[in-house]
Amino acid sequence: MTDRHCRLPAAAALALTGLIGLHAGALRAAILEQTLQVPVHSAAGQGAAFAQPMLLRTAYDAQRGRRPFLVLLHGRDGDPQHRARLALPIYPANLRYFAARGFAVLVPLRVGYGATAGPDVEFTGDCNDKHYAAGVAAAVAETRELLRYVRRLPYVDAGRGLIVGESFGGVAAIAAAAAQLPGVTGVVNIAGGDGGDSLHRPDEPCRPDQLQATFAAYGAAARLPTLWLYSANDRLWGTRYPREWFAAFAAAGGRGSFMPLPADRNNGHYIFSRNAAAWHPAFEGFAAALGF
């Protein structure tokens, strides 16, 4: 998310491993969490070359064998100080929810954030001069390297899985649908967008026309099923632009469905972290249709 007045979800202190008991319906799952380091290299089109480790939080039900993966892509705060403070675990409740549903959950702390640090490879330009695809390409490149790395993990079935992204991560998820990443069979975009400021420009993000064209380009290349979820009172994007973005994606050939979510408090942009009941049914129906 690029609202400089927003806050990404608060994070607990970094821990290398933790064993957590989680009750999911009538089933009690033992969720094991780990923090790993994934080597990544320079992302496309984003300045000087670099190579560094990227922190990765994993969560999985210790009572199962190999599990399909679920990559969970976080948003982007417009304030560099807030990006520098982002820490793992991100979305802890959602991470454990997905793990309890049988996924090996993979939450990368991408380059340019928190303890992963590094250059700001996801910068998409000033408000009146946006280059969305360039910044999003960095997140997709890191996701590709992440999927290559997790093939070695004994609890991950790298042959099939989902990508779920929120806010900027939602745009990256749709870009991933067009990038033919190995093993990815479906993508969920929750509140996806970039260039928002709910205080100074509520409902009016920077250059929504350019982002619409970017989504259309993804639609022309994407062949995976996608699910788009937006709250009725998302104050970063408003209600008009997300529908136009999806329409452009679909008109270009992209596969997917747009599902409006209810309004949530004073700004539904944060519905993924604050109102699980609003999006769980849509996600579960999408996952079930894909055999998860």
**Is CATH 3.30.565.10 what the domain over 20-289 is classified as, yes or no?**
no
Give CA–CA dist 222/176, Å, rounded: 8
CB atoms within 10 A of CB 280: 13
Is the distance from CB of 285 to CB of 257 less than 8 angstroms?
no
108: left (phi over 0), alpha (psi -120 to 50) or beta: beta
Contacts of residue 262, defined as CB under 8 A and 6 or more positions apart, other chains included, come to 231, 232, 268, 275, 278
Per-residue pLDDT tens over the stretch 195-231? 999 999 999 999 999 999 999 999 999 999 999 999 9
Would you call the peptide bond into 89 cis, given omega within 30 degrees of 0 as the criterion?
yes
**Tens of pLDDT along 225-252?**
999 999 999 999 999 999 999 999 999 9
The span from the CA of 187 to the CA of 127, in Å, is 27
- Predicted TM-score (pTM) of the model is 0.89
User: How would residue 48 be classed by pLDDT, with cut points 50, 70 and 90?
Assistant: low
pLDDT category at 64 given cuts 50, 70, 90 is confident
The domain limits of the chain are 20-289
**Res. 155: pLDDT tops 90:** yes
